[in-house]
Chain A
Amino acid sequence: MADNKPLVPNFGDESTGRKMAIICSKGNLDMAYPGLILGNAALGEGVEVHLFFTFWGFDMIHKKRQKKLKFSPVGNFAMHLPIGGIRMPQWLAWIPGMQPFATWYLQHKINKLEVPEVPGFLDQISASGGHLWGCKMSADMGGLTMEDLRDDVEDIITAADFIEMTEGAQVLFI
C-alpha cells in the first residue's frame, strides 16, 4: 500500500543546543579510546563537543607522546587470552615483553575494525568540529607549553575556564 505522505527521517536540524564535555584523564591506550569514540559519535549527531585533556590524558594531545600510548594487562582482571577466552593470570601480565605485545595486539584489533590510531582519531575529531583543550595544571606540572601540543589544540585553560565554557553541557569523565 502506497502512502502519499513521504516518510522523512528526522535529522533534528533545528539545533537543540546540545553540548558535551568529555574529560580525558587517562593516558593508557585502552583508556584513550572511550572519549574519542563517544566524542566522535556525538559530533556525527550534530552535538557540540569539547574534550579536556588532563593529568595522564594530557599525553593524548602531546605531539610525540600521543603516538606512543601503551596498554598493560597488569591489574586488569577483565583481560582474556586471545585463545579460548581464558582469563589472563596476573603472573603472566608481569612477564617481560608482555606490555609491548599487549599494546601491539590491542592496536592491531582496533586497526582491524578500521578505527584510527589516536593521532588520526583526533585529526578526525577536530575535522568534525570538535574542540580540544589542554589542562593548565597538567601543563605546569610537566613543564609543557602549546609548542608541545597538537596544532589543533585551541588553548591551555584552567579547570574554571573549562567549567565556564561548558555551561549546560553533559559531562563525561573518563
Chain B
Amino acid sequence: MPTQDMLGREIHVDDEGFLTEYDEWDEKLGAELAKNIGVEMTDEHWKVIAFLRKDYESEGTTATTRRVNSIGGFPVKLQFELFPQKPAKKMAYIAGLPKPAGCV
C-alpha cells in the first residue's frame, strides 16, 4: 500500500490516492485533499464531508449520492454544484474515505 507525505505526516493511500486509514484524516488534511482536486471548500462543503465521515463510521461503507441525499439531506443537485462532474468520488476523496461501492 503506497504512503505519501502530506502536511509533514505519512498518509496511507490506495493506488489512486484515496486514503485507506479512517483515523489519519482531519479537517486540515481534508482541505489539502480538496486543494489537490481544485475544490474550494465552503461551510456547505464541510457539512457534506462531516456527514460522510459520520455515516462511514456507523455504516462501514461510503455513502452514495443517493444516501447523501436521502439520509444526509443534501439534495443531489447541490452535491453536483459543490463537487462538480463526479460528486460521489470527489466527496469520498476529500472525506478520506474509499470510493462508494453502491450502484445507485
A and B are partners in one complex rather than unrelated chains: yes
Q: Which residues of A contact B (CB under 8 A)?
A: 1-13, 15, 37, 40-41, 44-46, 113-116, 121, 124, 127-129
Query: In the bound complex, do residue A11 and residue B3 qualify as a contact, i.e. CB atoms below 8 Å apart?
Result: no
Given contacts A11-B85, A11-B90, A127-B76, 13 further A-B contacts (CB under 8 A): A6-B6, A7-B15, A8-B37, A11-B37, A13-B38, A13-B85, A44-B89, A45-B85, A124-B76, A127-B75, A128-B76, A128-B80, A129-B80
CB distance from B68 to the nearest CB of A (A): 11
Query: In the bound complex, do residue A8 and residue B69 qualify as a contact, i.e. CB atoms below 8 Å apart?
Result: no
- A3–B6 alpha-carbon span in the complex (Å): 9
- CB contacts (< 8 Å) of A113 on chain B: these are 102, 104
State the total of A-B contacts with C-beta under 8 angstroms: 87
- 18 of the cross-chain contacts (CB-CB < 8 Å) are A1-B3, A2-B3, A2-B5, A3-B5, A6-B17, A7-B4, A7-B17, A9-B89, A11-B89, A13-B85, A37-B104, A44-B65, A45-B86, A114-B66, A115-B66, A116-B104, A124-B66, A129-B80
- CB contacts (< 8 Å) of B70 on chain A: these are 114, 116
Chain A CB within 8 A of B2 CB: yes
- A40–B102 alpha-carbon span in the complex (Å): 12
- A2–B86 alpha-carbon span in the complex (Å): 28
Contact of B4 among A2, A11, A114, A115 (CB under 8 A): A2
Q: Main SS of the interface on chain B?
A: mixed
Query: In the bound complex, do residue B104 and residue A40 qualify as a contact, i.e. CB atoms below 8 Å apart?
Result: yes
Query: In the bound complex, do residue A9 and residue B4 qualify as a contact, i.e. CB atoms below 8 Å apart?
Result: no
CB distance from A30 to the nearest CB of B (A): 15
CB distance from A113 to the nearest CB of B (A): 8
Query: In the bound complex, do residue B5 and residue A4 qualify as a contact, i.e. CB atoms below 8 Å apart?
Result: yes
Specify the chain A residue showing the minimal Cβ separation from B9.
Answer: A2
CB distance from B84 to the nearest CB of A (A): 8
- A129–B75 alpha-carbon span in the complex (Å): 13
Query: In the bound complex, do residue A12 and residue B17 qualify as a contact, i.e. CB atoms below 8 Å apart?
Result: no
Query: In the bound complex, do residue B13 and residue A7 qualify as a contact, i.e. CB atoms below 8 Å apart?
Result: yes
Q: Which 10 A-B pairs have the closest CB atoms?
A: A46-B85, A7-B17, A127-B76, A2-B5, A9-B16, A127-B77, A8-B36, A115-B104, A9-B17, A2-B10
Query: In the bound complex, do residue B87 and residue A44 qualify as a contact, i.e. CB atoms below 8 Å apart?
Result: yes
Contact of A9 among B76, B84, B93, B104 (CB under 8 A): B93
